[in-house]
Amino acid sequence: MFTGIVTDLGEIVGFTPTAQGQLHRLRIACRYDQTTIADGASIACNGVCLTVVASGVEGSRTWFDVDAAAETLALTTAKHWKLGTRLNLERALKIGDELGGHIVAGHVDGIATLVSREDLPDMARFELSTTRELARFIATKGSITLDGVSLTVNTVRDVTFSVLIIPHTLTVTTIGGWKAGDEVNIEVDLMARYAARLTEMTV
């Protein structure tokens, strides 16, 4: 379980396709203390919950290895990741941690496409589009997770929605580099999903 509050920016420094391209072994460099990363730990990488299979230190940087399996490659932007790709990282939530964003499972629902970017004096406004199936879970002032970042929805119109990003978030996440046409991972709010399911069952 995660909160959507990014705690580090990682970089893919190793990339090994295996199993006829159906599995990618990724080595991700980060600034986490390696002694705190156990094999089997969960780390959200651009919103995708991945399991650590090894870790170590090279030079001044910690690294950890994860496997991106076929379903992850099919449903998320992981299929586009390559050497040098930067990733928003978040360690799994521990009992007693501050819930600064919202409850995030790390189970990506699909992909949103960036329609436009508008740089404003003190923030940036992004408009994105997604599938109709996912759009029904997105509401104005509701929560949304994009590439692992907990955000508040600003406006909604049919299958498009917008978010406003403050300078701090633009600086400490990969969002600062987003441009029109980019694809990002989207996880809808769990509460919205359960509410929709409850409505379906009571109709």
Is 107 a catalytic site residue?
A: yes
| Catalytic option among 7, 51, 113, 116 | 51
| Catalytic option among 42, 113, 116, 129 | 42
| Catalytic option among 2, 126, 137, 161 | 2
Ordered alpha helix ranges (H), the chain? 70-75, 132-135, 167-172, 190-202
201 phi-psi bin (left φ>0, alpha ψ -120 to 50, beta other): alpha
| Catalytic option among 49, 112, 124, 135 | 49
The residues facing 66 across adjacent strands are 26, 52
| Catalytic option among 18, 80, 107, 131 | 107
Is 192 a catalytic site residue?
A: no
| Catalytic option among 152, 155, 180, 196 | 152
Is 155 a catalytic site residue?
A: no
Is 195 a catalytic site residue?
A: no
Is 72 a catalytic site residue?
A: no
Is 51 a catalytic site residue?
A: yes
Rounded distance between C-alpha atoms, residue 41 and residue 99, angstroms: 19
| Catalytic option among 7, 15, 41, 69 | 69
Is 2 a catalytic site residue?
A: yes
Please name the residue that has the structure tokens 């099919």: 74
Rounded distance between C-alpha atoms, residue 101 and residue 79, angstroms: 27
Q: What residues act catalytically?
A: 2, 42, 49, 51, 69, 107, 152
